[in-house]
Amino acid sequence: MDDKHRANIIENTDKLINRTKYEKLAHACKAKGLLSPIMLQNLEKIEPDMCVNWSEDEKQYERHKRLFIKITKRGPTAYQELRMILADLKYDSALCVLNALDDDSRMRSIQKREDQKYERQLSGIRECETLITTNGNNNNNSNDMHCIDRSDGAKKELNINKSNCSNEIMLEEFTDEIYPKMRLDVKKSTAVHTHPKLGTYPMQSQYNRGVFFMVNIIDFLSNDEPRRGAEGDAESLLYLFRELDALLNSKYTTNTECFVMALMTHGTRDDDGFERVTFHDGSIVKVEDIERYFHNHICRNLQNKPKIFIFPFCRGNIADMGIKGKIQTDSVSYISGNAKTNIPQLSDVFICYAASPGFKSHRDVEAGSWYIQKFVEMMAANAHDTSFEEIVKMIQAETSKLRTVDGHLQTANSVNMGFNKALFFNPGVWLD
């Protein structure tokens, strides 16, 4: 957050408090991911020696004040996010306090503000011109996301909902040697393959074949169970895509032929049917908000290029936990509700899910995710001469054969969003 915006909130805290309701504002901040549930719990706690003889109104005022102060420490887009929340809640008088600082900051529409926010945040793809894949330090089991220290002493995750690569974070290439537990023999192509009827996405460059970007969260500051076995998933995926000639670092995304993102963390489906994922610091983000960063009008460098999302997390809480002490699931607490479809309009996007909507995905604490195991196996064996969509069907078929000791299974599925050409990875061969 800019110093002038931070100062504006602090100097006008009383005005903002008087023009908003604490409960509604706190709920909206949590729903939008501006503040995590853990952060709000900490705001609610007032030290006993501090509030001696305080009335309930005075305690509520203190919580309200802390909420605004906390927002000033929530990253470069927090001011804009607060504006959007105030607009959604129709707190017009409070919104005027924020808008008065900048004559040119008056909002034409909420949608336009959202688009501008996503445009700036995606500068990690365009302006910064770097998309790096990394799983952090392979010897660190706490968390495989890169992070930086915030002024409030907490860790700020490399989380596209809160970061701006152009002025805060420059990712570095993952260059470590990789020794996956699973033995992988990635077969190489003998020719560049094409599809005579569908058309084919270009995958023939020697140095710009693709970018693999991975977020692998193992430990959480909240009470969520650590994702044991996820280290093996990270190693297997990194090894696989390095063998597929994908770059683990790209300085020029305009030339990249393909983009693959793996997001490995806990997931669930909320009461409104939205799928959400949890980050290390307790932040909860809608999956559709992550997908939105790849809209064609926002992510121009990847227009007309294949974009693959690998989402092995749970999509609900239906199913048994599996083998006690052996099998885990990538879910958080389940909230019942009617399922809805909330997928933004994208093109050239293929989403790989480890589970069906509402269901858990299974992860062996030693071998790793069922889905990731089969993903790397099938890709290693078939990417040399088989299109990606065909391989995904093989992955889904193999995953469906697995069972826990209680007989529970997992049905992987996929979503094609304008992914209208064939994609061959062609490992080991190139034409330029």
Mind telling me the catalytic residues? Answer: 266, 314
- Give strand pairing partners of 183: none
Other C-beta atoms closer than 10 Å to the C-beta of 401 total 10
The whole-angstrom separation of Cα 365 and Cα 228 is: 5
* Interacting residues of 44 by C-beta distance below 8 A, sequence separation 6+: 63
Residues 71 and 86 sit within 8 Å (Cβ to Cβ): no
Closest CA to 203 of 158, 161, 256, 130: 256
